[in-house]
Amino acid sequence: MTVDIKKLLIFDFDGTLIDSVPDLADATNAMLTTLGKETYPIETIRNWIGNGSRLLVERALVGHVEVAAGALTKEEADHAEQVFFDAYKNLSGSKTVAYPDVDEGLKKLHAAGYTLALVTNKPIRFVPKILQSFGWQDLFSEVMGGDSLPVKKPDPAPLLHVCASLNVSVAQAIMIGDSRNDILAGQNANMDTLGLSYGYNYGQDIRELNPTEAFDSFADLIAWIMKDNA
């Protein structure tokens, strides 16, 4: 893979740049408490994160990562998701932190001339506030949430939309993330993929999904991308 021809770096958010599990777990348990249901430890909820808010809510309601067809009515899930949104909105976000070396790494890539984009399955309404809290709002040329289009990762549409919006070919783009949704989205878009092993991937080693390359730290990822700019 010749990184020097790559122009566009598309990042996932939760589990890749930020660890938002504590806030998401608090919001999930607040929802469950409001609904009179059993709450769960953070490590259980961690394994339910990564497919967007709707599936997180449904998994919490049934207490399992697999949600059987017909287990919940649309009305039940709609109501619970709104309760979750209200709880998440009311959290200060103080428990959400950037992973080590992410802040410095993003700024280094931006300064080197790479175009950065963000494609997350998190609802778009929650993304700007978090970006601003880290001072990253000006680093990304395009930001897509899980509800910005009718489909979300692992569908390739959000990645292809970003490429089209920024007038960059798929061959000049890389998808970077921590979960199967990110790697599959990139592969479905016929795009190179870089995997990070430390995020939320339901207990599966990211390397099993055969990304173009995989790394155990953000610093190693940055060093690999920047090696041709040294």
Catalytic residues: 12
Q: For residue 121, with 0-12 CB atoms within 10 Å meaning exposed, 13-18 middle and 19 or more buried, which class applies?
A: buried
Q: In 128-152, which positions are buried (b, 16+ CB within 10 angstroms) versus exposed (e)?
A: eebbeebebeebbbbbbbbbbeeeb
In the chain the first and final C-alpha atoms are separated, in Å, by 17
